[in-house]
Amino acid sequence: MIKHIIHDQVAQVLTSLGLSQQREFIVEVPNNPDNGEFSTNAAMVLAKENKTSPKKLAEALLKELKKNKYYKSVEIAGPGFINFRLSTSLFQHMLWDVYKLGLDFGNSDFGQQEKVLLEFVSANPTGPLNIVSARAAAYGDTLYRVMKKVGFDPAREFYINDAGNQVDILAESLELRLRELHGENIGEFPYEAYHGEYVKHLAHKLNAAEGVRVFMMPEKERNERLKEFALSELLEMQRLSLERFDVTFEGWVSERTLRGEGVVEEVLSYLTEADCTYEKEDAVWFASTKFGDDKDRVLMKSDGSITYFVPDLAYHLTKIQRGFTKLIDVFGPDHHGYVPRLKAAFRALNYDEDMLEIVFLQQVNLYESGEKVKMSKRAGKIVTMDDLINVVGKDAARYFFIARKANAHLNFDLELALQKNNDNPVYYCQYAHARICSIIRKAKKDRIYPRAFKQELCLKLTKPDELALIRKLTELPGLLETIAEYREPHRLATYTEELCGLYHRFYNKYQVVSLKSRELSKARLLLSEAVKNALAICLDLMGISAPEKM
RNA sequence: GCGCCAGUAGCUCAGUCGGAUAGAGCAGCAGCCUUCUAAGCUGCGGGUCGGGGGUUCGAAUCCCUUCUGGCGUGCCA
């Protein structure tokens, strides 16, 4: 907010002086407060193209900038930085602006209603959702919320991989468990089959509903029935887990349905028309190496069946057909080898490959008693998303996942999160919100809380800690835009902690509600309200509750 | 072998896309509740930003190289 204002003013001055500004300069907050509250490198960056020295350029700018009443001081320092100190009245004005906006604070049209499709989780419907899916859910959903707030037109979608090999294996696993249930000796449970307990539960449920009728069906029909049943049950299970995590999707797209609609054949024909397929060893290949992949990929196997890639590509093309101009896929760590062929296909079909953007979430390591927990879906040893929510709660789980940048490994210490009085930073933030609510309750009880706040109250706020809080507040709108642009929701967690830290400090230093000075109390209440709103916004964007009491 | 990601304080991680003296939380030590929530605050100690080279006014950030760890490299999905 403030950065923008300063940036615009510097740009205006440059224009009015008839100076070139080809290269981009920035306004930033210096590490060292001695260097002012804000600083710009404009003179250094633009000196060369204006055929002058940084110092001279800075001096020219300085003369004009000093005329602005919002700057307490403007100075030249070091190799040509221009450092700004802002007047207290600017902060006071900004606070009022922030306060008036309430929960709309931070809203903008930055995204210009661009239609963005966020695809995430998209887990195989062959078992409960795991921890990585939980991370994807937290990441994707928060990004969605932030993008929506800053004026994009985003949609969340879950692609259901319900048509591949793994579904057949699932059906077989279920059949074995069902036979077992009927006392049949099934021998050793196959290695590739799904070993999880949930398959047994499914068998029980199916048995209760249909008994031996399933076994009387012809094999093909039985197989369909088993698939049908397992898929719908597991999908529902996944949907419920996500719902508990406060994550919903605008769309659920089934691979089977897609195949049924004939889009697979369509895509194959497109690729053939683009002259980038060939037959070899009874299989149909995509010559993806022509388009940047490191090896060619099979589209149709020698047995006539189709690989996963084709319907997935078809799915991506439907996104474009539906009018989305940005496709963001959130992938797990084991899929990065898959990207070159997707991009290659876009290139082959003359789509702009930049429309497709892949975010990789690195793996999540669970630690218990200081040891890494090994997880394997096939072997049935998995810690599920539900387990995690049960243990640490939705708020803490979401926070942990969001607080780390996507492409870094995440170590999740279960024991630490297990401790109820833990050092979990999510409590730090929620506590700040609850604390403000408590103060407001107190003020209302003491009849200090005004019916309506007046702008003049802002003039009472002059302490450095108060101004620091206001400045932090003003950073939020720009931050949200940055988060949306760079797809980095983790910054929201960092920001929230910083804002809370400032408020906790302010709280410890100054009494907000004091009968001795009612006007100052009201002013601090106004500030507290603004902080509370900002916190509520941040927590809501992260999908974390903002408690009024703790 | 090749490709992708990571390497910052004892631990977990930030670092506003090239800025000035690299930050936070936890852990450790020492303090702060007869006043609005102590799930909080204050102070102290702690660093070869994995190593080496380069680019420039200026590098944790960009380039090259090298080491370490994770993942990928299926006619699996």
Q: Which domains does chain A have, with CATH numbers?
A: 2-86 (3.30.1360.70), 115-160+248-360 (3.40.50.620), 165-244 (no CATH), 421-541 (1.10.730.10)
pLDDT band at A113 (very low <50, low <70, confident <90, very high): very high
Report CA(A84)–C1'(B52) in Å, whole number. Answer: 39
Answer whether residue A27 shows pLDDT above 80: yes
From the Cβ of A49, is strand B under 7 Å away? no
Q: Is A398 helix (H, G, I), strand (E, B) or coil?
A: helix
Share of chain A above pLDDT 90, in %: 68
Q: What is the pLDDT of residue A361?
A: 92
Nucleotide nearest to A80 (CA to C1'): B57
Residues 163-202, chain A: which have Cβ under 7 A from strand B?
163-166
A413 has a pLDDT exceeding 90: no
Q: Is the pLDDT of residue A92 over 70?
A: yes
Nucleotide nearest to A365 (CA to C1'): B70
- Name the nucleotide nearest A495; use CA and C1': B14
Is the pLDDT score of A310 beyond 60? yes
So what's the pLDDT on residue A199?
Answer: 95
- Please provide the DSSP assignment of A216-277 as one string: HS-HHHHHHHHHHHHHHHHHHHHHHHHHHTT---SEEEEHHHHHHTTHHHHHHHHHHHTT-E
C-alpha separations of A385 from A25, A131, A184, A245 in Å:
45, 5, 33, 9
Is-contact A167 A126, C-beta < 8 A?
yes
Q: Is the CB of A407 under 7 A from strand B?
A: yes
Q: Which residues on adjacent β-strands are paired with residue A280?
A: A283
Query: Residues with Cβ < 8 Å from A288, sequence gap 6 or more?
Result: A276, A295, A296, A297, A340, A341, A344, A345, A348
Kindly report the bases of strand B lying within 7 A of a protein C-beta atom.
2-7, 12-17, 19-27, 35-42, 57, 69-77
**A474 CB contact with strand B at below 7 Å:** no
A207 touches strand B (CB under 7 A): no
Nucleotide nearest to A126 (CA to C1'): B77
A423 CB closer than 7 A to any strand B atom: yes
The C1' atom of B66 and the CA atom of A519 lie apart, in whole Å, by 65
Q: For position A48, what pLDDT does the model report? A: 79
Give the pLDDT of residue A230.
Answer: 96
A429-443 pLDDT, tens digit per residue, is 999 999 999 999 999
pLDDT-derived band of residue A369, with 50, 70 and 90 as boundaries?
Answer: low
Q: How far is CA A14 from CA A10, A43, A55, A429, in A?
A: 6, 10, 15, 42
Lowest pLDDT segment from A88-92, A201-205, A540-544 = A88-92
pLDDT at A379 exceeding the cut of 60: no
As for the ipTM of the complex, it is 0.94
Q: Which residue has the higher pLDDT, A144 or A34?
A: A144
Contact A428, A500 (CB under 8 A): yes
Residue A419 CA to B72 C1' — how many Å? 36
The H helix count followed by the E strand count for chain A is 19, 15
Query: How far is the C-alpha of A235 from the C-alpha of A133, rounded, in Å?
Result: 14
Residue A49: DSSP 8-state: T
SS3 state of residue A541: helix
Task: Determine the Cα–Cα distance for residues A154 and A481; give it in Å rounded to an integer.
Answer: 14
Which position has the token pair 């690989």?
A307
Nearest nucleotide by C1' position to the A54 CA atom = B57
Q: Where are the alpha helices (DSSP H) in A245-384?
A: 255-260, 263-273, 309-321, 339-348
- In a 13 Å sphere around the CA of A537, the CA atoms on its Cβ side amount to 27
Average pLDDT across chain A, whole number: 91
pLDDT tens, residue by residue, A492-537? 999 999 999 999 999 999 999 999 899 999 999 999 999 999 999 9
A283 touches strand B (CB under 7 A): yes
Interstrand relation of A326-331 and A115-119 (parallel, antiparallel or unpaired): parallel
Instruction: Assess whether A34 (CB) lies less than 7 A from strand B.
Output: yes
Strand B and chain A: which residues 66-125 have CB closer than 7 Å?
77-79, 81, 83, 124
**Residues contacting residue A270 through CB under 8 Å, at least 6 positions apart:** A349
Confirm whether any atom of chain B, the nucleic acid strand, is less than 7 Å from CB of A256.
no
Q: Is the CB of A488 under 7 A from strand B?
A: yes
Read off the amino acid at residue A322.
R
